[in-house]
């Protein structure tokens, strides 16, 4: 009987240790099967085009090469490694299977890391519930874009910091390579640098008084080392400066969807989660240290300020609250943690991991062979761009969402998704022009940049305005886009020779 009981406990222990791997594989397969939800943002297109340019030229960009409005001006890509990875996995033109698989792997890895970090504080069922809630809150910002590839590194790095704070010790130096990879994948690494201080304060706050000075010195040294590690990129010390440039766009951020503040005018899942968290914390009388309160309030403020930060709140807030909840509400499971359980049975873990990889690879191969991954045709102005290229149009005023597709067609654009390149005033002028709030400003902008044709949404106020402006006529329209050209013109002016030369050097899809 005792042997049977021991065997049963051991099996349950090993099963618990494999939960993160299995959950991550399940999440990967889910996003793979629903791959089109990752292809909802045309910015994915110019991201891949930049990656292709890097591979073709063997260097990273230092100036803009895709627009005619900012051509040749200084610009660095803080996501160059992600762009290269996406470009490598991108197949024939229009084949998005590789980027979808890569993004799905990153999301699955994020969930596996998340469950490993929660394991010491919650039973597997509760940890899976928390992970599911985090996924639901974050899904609206999951695209085939660099921030998704960086998400596992964000969680591993900050999770490592929180684990050190929970143990009242200093962070592991093994986190520094994660910072380097994160800094090459996406500009969000500045969040990791910014959180070293607050999380270190929690470790120092909770430590014995005689250890606080020593601990403060070690956290400070780690912070300096992490800053240096973030500069191990092709751009060196310019990397952190370039990454935070987006934050200098001022009121423009309130006009870009993912940088908009949360709208509590309509009830959302994030609002429900936040209010429930506050209510449960009051009801169960959860007590937090001052540093943890500051961390939690900071994460909430970030999420309320910009909707793109909801995913950061969803994955990091549970890590901040995990230890106090486990200690005060008794949610911690008995026995060893998942990592310790896996280490105690490495052979079983290796076999299980191999089985998961083989099963995932087989499922992926079968599914991809019978399921093409494509952008929604309603997002792409294919016919309109065909017509513009036939007319040899080059100075085209278009909406930013069309910019990504135009870049893939080797067209110089007026604007695309790189707001940090164009700057606050330029993009504000663009928004004012597309909204046609002042017809004079719209026409002045078209004249200033010698615009030959416009490519706008059919419902755009600017498109309606140009229907009634002398000197412009509607040339083409469909359900996706409408084209206006200057009256009486059949051929557009050419770009400067340098711009044309650069365009040809990019090659084609």
Task: Please tell me the predicted confidence (pLDDT) of residue 335.
Answer: 52
C-alpha closest to that of 179 among 200, 161, 197, 199: 161
Q: Please list, in sequence order, all residues whose beta carbon lies within 8 angstroms of the beta carbon of residue 392, skipping any fewer than 6 positions away.
A: 491, 492
43 within 8 A of 49, measured Cβ to Cβ: no
pLDDT in tens, 384-413: 999 999 999 989 999 999 999 999 999 999
Token pair recorded at residue 452: 């030959």
Q: Please list, in sequence order, all residues whose beta carbon lies within 8 angstroms of the beta carbon of residue 381, skipping any fewer than 6 positions away.
A: 402, 405, 455, 480, 481
Max CA-CA distance within the chain?
94
b/e 105-123 (16+ beta carbons within 10 angstroms → b): bbbbbbbbbbbbbbbbbbe
Task: Please tell me the predicted confidence (pLDDT) of residue 261.
Answer: 85
User: Is 8's pLDDT higher than 90?
Assistant: no
User: Is 171's pLDDT higher than 60?
Assistant: yes
453 within 8 A of 411, measured Cβ to Cβ: no
Token pair recorded at residue 497: 């020779």
Task: Please tell me the predicted confidence (pLDDT) of residue 346.
Answer: 63
C-alpha closest to that of 272 among 99, 136, 466: 136
Task: Please tell me the predicted confidence (pLDDT) of residue 173.
Answer: 95
Q: How confident is the model at residue 345 (pLDDT cuts 50, 70, 90)?
A: low
Q: Give the HSE-up count for residue 112: Cα atoms under 13 Å, Cβ half-sphere.
A: 20
Q: Please list, in sequence order, all residues whose beta carbon lies within 8 angstroms of the beta carbon of residue 369, skipping any fewer than 6 positions away.
A: none
Token pair recorded at residue 376: 């929604």
Token pair recorded at residue 411: 């067209």
Mean pLDDT of 180-195: 95
Q: How many helices (DSSP H) and strands (DSSP E) are in the chain?
A: 22, 4
17-26, 148-157, 248-257, 464-473: least confidently modelled range: 248-257
End-to-end CA distance of the chain: 67
Quick one: which H or E segment has residue 476? strand 472-477
Question: What are the contacts of 21-25 at 24+ separation with CB within 8 A?
Answer: 21/112, 21/352, 21/353, 21/356, 22/356, 23/111, 23/112, 23/115, 23/128, 23/131, 24/108, 24/109, 24/110, 24/111, 24/112, 24/115, 25/108, 25/356, 25/359, 25/360
C-alpha closest to that of 75 among 249, 235, 232: 235
C-alpha closest to that of 42 among 387, 311, 408: 408
Quick one: which H or E segment has residue 21? helix 2-33
C-alpha closest to that of 92 among 147, 52, 56: 52
pLDDT in tens, 70-101: 999 999 999 999 999 999 999 777 789 999 99
Strands 472-477 and 396-398: unpaired
Token pair recorded at residue 313: 């709140």
Determine the Cα–Cα distance for residues 439 and 437; give it in Å rounded to an integer. 6
Determine the Cα–Cα distance for residues 26 and 415; give it in Å rounded to an integer. 39
Strands 482-486 and 396-398: unpaired
The pTM of the full predicted model, rounded to 2 decimals, is 0.88
What does DSSP assign to residue 74?
Answer: B
Q: pLDDT averaged over the chain?
A: 86
Task: Provide the residue count of the chain.
Answer: 509
Mean pLDDT of 40-61: 93
Q: How confident is the model at residue 503 (pLDDT cuts 50, 70, 90)?
A: very low
Taking CA atoms, 468 is separated from 70, 155, 484, in Å, by 30, 53, 11
Is residue 251 packed enough to be buried (19+ CB in 10 Å), middle (13-18) or exposed (0-12)? exposed
Determine the Cα–Cα distance for residues 383 and 480; give it in Å rounded to an integer. 9
What does DSSP assign to residue 379?
Answer: G
């Amino acid at each position: 009987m005792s042997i049977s009981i021991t065997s049963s406990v051991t099996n349950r222990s090993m099963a618990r240790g494999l939960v993160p791997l299995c959950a991550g594989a399940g999440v990967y397969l889910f996003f793979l099967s629903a791959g089109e939800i990752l292809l909802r943002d045309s910015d994915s297109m110019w991201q891949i085009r930049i990656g292709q340019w890097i591979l073709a030229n063997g260097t990273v960009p230092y100036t803009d090469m895709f627009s005619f409005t900012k051509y040749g001006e200084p610009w660095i890509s803080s996501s160059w490694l992600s762009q290269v990875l996406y470009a490598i996995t991108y197949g024939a033109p229009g084949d998005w299977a590789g980027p979808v698989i890569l993004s799905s792997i990153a999301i699955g890895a994020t969930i596996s890391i998340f469950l490993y970090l929660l394991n010491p504080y919650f039973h597997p069922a509760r940890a899976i519930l928390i992970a599911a809630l985090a996924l639901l809150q974050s899904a609206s910002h999951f695209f085939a874009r660099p921030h998704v590839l960086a998400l596992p590194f964000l969680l591993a790095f900050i999770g490592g910091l929180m684990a050190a704070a929970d143990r009242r010790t200093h962070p592991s130096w093994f986190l520094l390579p994660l910072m380097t990879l994160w800094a090459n994948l996406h500009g969000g690494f500045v969040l990791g640098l910014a959180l070293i201080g607050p999380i270190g304060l929690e470790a120092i706050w909770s430590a014995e008084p005689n250890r606080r000075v020593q601990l403060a010195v070690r956290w400070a040294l780690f912070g300096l080392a992490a800053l240096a590690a973030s500069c191990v990129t092709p751009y060196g010390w310019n990397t952190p400066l370039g990454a935070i440039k987006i934050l200098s766009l001022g009121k423009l951020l309130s006009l870009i969807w993912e940088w908009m503040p949360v709208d509590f005018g309509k009830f959302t899942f994030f609002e429900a989660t936040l209010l429930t968290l506050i209510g449960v914390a009051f009801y169960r009388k959860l007590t937090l240290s001052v540093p943890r309160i500051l961390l939690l309030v900071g994460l909430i403020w970030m999420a309320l300020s910009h909707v793109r930060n909801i995913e950061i709140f969803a994955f990091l807030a549970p890590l901040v609250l995990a230890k106090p909840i486990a200690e005060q509400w008794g949610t911690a499971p008995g026995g060893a943690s998942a990592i310790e359980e896996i280490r105690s049975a490495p052979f079983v873990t290796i076999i299980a991991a191999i089985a998961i990889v083989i099963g995932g690879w087989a499922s992926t191969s079968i599914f991809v062979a019978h399921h093409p991954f494509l952008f929604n045709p309603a997002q792409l102005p294919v016919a309109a761009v065909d017509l513009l290229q036939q007319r040899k149009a080059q100075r085209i005023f278009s909406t930013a969402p069309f910019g990504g597709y135009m870049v893939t067609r080797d067209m110089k654009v007026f604007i695309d998704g790189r707001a940090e390149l164009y700057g606050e005033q330029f993009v504000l002028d663009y928004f004012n022009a597309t909204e046609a709030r002042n017809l004079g400003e719209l026409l002045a902008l078209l004249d200033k940049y010698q615009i030959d044709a416009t490519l706008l949404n059919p419902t755009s106020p600017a498109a309606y305005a140009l229907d009634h402006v002398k000197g412009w006529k509607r040339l083409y329209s469909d359900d996706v886009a409408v084209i206006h050209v200057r009256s009486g013109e059949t051929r557009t002016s050419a770009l400067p020779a340098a711009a044309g030369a650069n365009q040809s050097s990019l090659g084609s899809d």
